[in-house]
Amino acid sequence: MQITEPGRLELVERATPAPGVGEVLIEVEACGVCGADASDIESAKAATQPPRVPGHEVVGRIVALGENLALPWQIGQRVGVGRLGGHCLACAQCRQGRFQLCEQQPVTGASRDGGYAEMMLARATGLVAIPDELDAVDAAPILCAGIATFNALKKCGAEAGDLVAIHGIGGLGHMALQYARRMGFKVLAIGRGQDIERDALALGAHIYVDTQTEDAVAALQRIGGAQAILTTSTDAVTTSALVPGLAPRGRMIVLGAGKDRLQIGMGQLVAAERSVLGSITGTPYDSERALAFSVLTNVRPQIETMPLERATEAYQRMRSGDVKFRMVLTMKDGHAR
């Protein structure tokens, strides 16, 4: 499925590509449909790049190896690829071991073809080993929604027993609730509407706050403030308004990559030594840790599946919010191990 013009996916046949130096060819089994795909599909620049294949939550098997590849990658091995398409190993950030911040890293589904396809090329430095215990359809969303929230919680500064708030109970938030509960935090979910309360509590929240009927900051302040607030929202206004709900030295972790600016009073940060931190997904090693933790603690994404040829329908449903909670495209047997 390629983007032939902004907002339009087209099913086409292409010749199977051959992997270049440092690359592998993956036979795709499953690919998640992520909210970030929207910018790739709707902002494609047909005049400056060839038709792009979107998708960055990819799981499959290696079927061909390029030159200059070291172990552990082998033909037949189960691997995944996330949004970060493989670090260069040469830039200043790579030389410091900050591979997630590589300055010359392709963005899967945006600057190089992604996983809405039966076959896909990938840089070996971007590969993630997939545990045998996970089906392809379960593993795929963990390579984006999973690793993003898992890594953010690791950075949040909270300790076991501390209050951690999850703002936004959608594709990312439903993973964050599960991870936060299993990491030993007291978990408060912040959502809109009573219809999501049962899901939030079942996923791991101890407390649910409906912002349509209750002030989230007041609710947080009544119980001493959150040591961390993980926000998945792209709404800068509602995100900014939550800062007073942090406890002294509390930390807000921002995952929503919206374009609007946060509006936070400097006094809100200084007086209580609060902080705000952005968090990107993570390195392939980070993804492998998230996958392993998911297996260990039985964290799984809640998904719906559709075959590749129905990618347009799957994408439109994701955009409308009519998915609970992640959509995954399958190629042949998406439950292969």
Give me the amino acid identity at 72. P
State the alpha helices, DSSP H only, in 127-245: 136-141, 147-155, 173-182, 197-203, 216-222, 236-241
- pLDDT number for residue 48: 65
Rounded to the nearest integer, the mean pLDDT of the chain is: 95
pTM of the model: 0.95
The predicted pLDDT at position 69 comes to: 87
Q: Give 12-58 pLDDT, tens digit per residue.
A: 999 999 999 999 999 999 999 999 999 899 987 766 678 999 999 99
The string of DSSP codes covering 106-142 is -BBTTTB--SSSSEEEEEGGGEEEPPTTS-HHHHHHI
- Decide if pLDDT at 104 tops 90: yes
Superfamily classification of domain 2-130+302-330: Medium-chain alcohol dehydrogenases, catalytic domain (3.90.180.10)
The percent of residues in the chain predicted with pLDDT above 70, rounded, is 98
Q: What confidence score (pLDDT) does residue 71 get?
A: 76
SS3 content of the chain, % helix, strand, coil (to 5): 30, 25, 45
The pLDDT value given to residue 334: 46
- 337 pLDDT above the threshold of 90: no
Is the previous residue joined to 325 through a cis bond, with omega within 30 degrees of 0? yes
Please write the tens of the pLDDT for every residue from 111-128: 999 999 999 999 999 999
Q: Do domains 2-130+302-330 and 155-278 have the same CATH topology?
A: no
CA distances (Å), origin 263, targets 225, 254, 260: 20, 13, 9
Residue 133 has pLDDT above 90, yes or no: yes
Q: What is the pLDDT of residues 245-288, one digit of tens each?
A: 999 999 999 998 888 999 999 999 999 999 999 999 999 999 99
> What pLDDT was estimated at residue 47?
61
Per-residue confidence (pLDDT) for residue 45, from 0 to 100? 77
Greater confidence (243 vs 336) lies with 243
- Rounded to an integer, the average pLDDT of 278-304 is 97
Residue 50: partners with Cβ closer than 8 Å, 6 or more residues away: none
pLDDT tens, 312-324? 999 999 999 899 9
Across 160-173, average pLDDT: 97
Q: What kind of architecture, by CATH, is found in domain 155-278?
A: 3-Layer(aba) Sandwich (3.40)
Pairing of the two strands 303-307 and 326-330: parallel
In the chain, where the domains are located = 2-130+302-330, 155-278
Per the structure block, which two tokens stand in for 185? 């935090």
Residue 13 sits at φ, ψ, to 5 deg, of -105, 135
Q: pLDDT at residue 336 above 60? A: no
* pLDDT, position 333: 55
β strands within 203-257, DSSP E:
207-210, 226-231, 246-254
For position 201, what pLDDT does the model report?
98
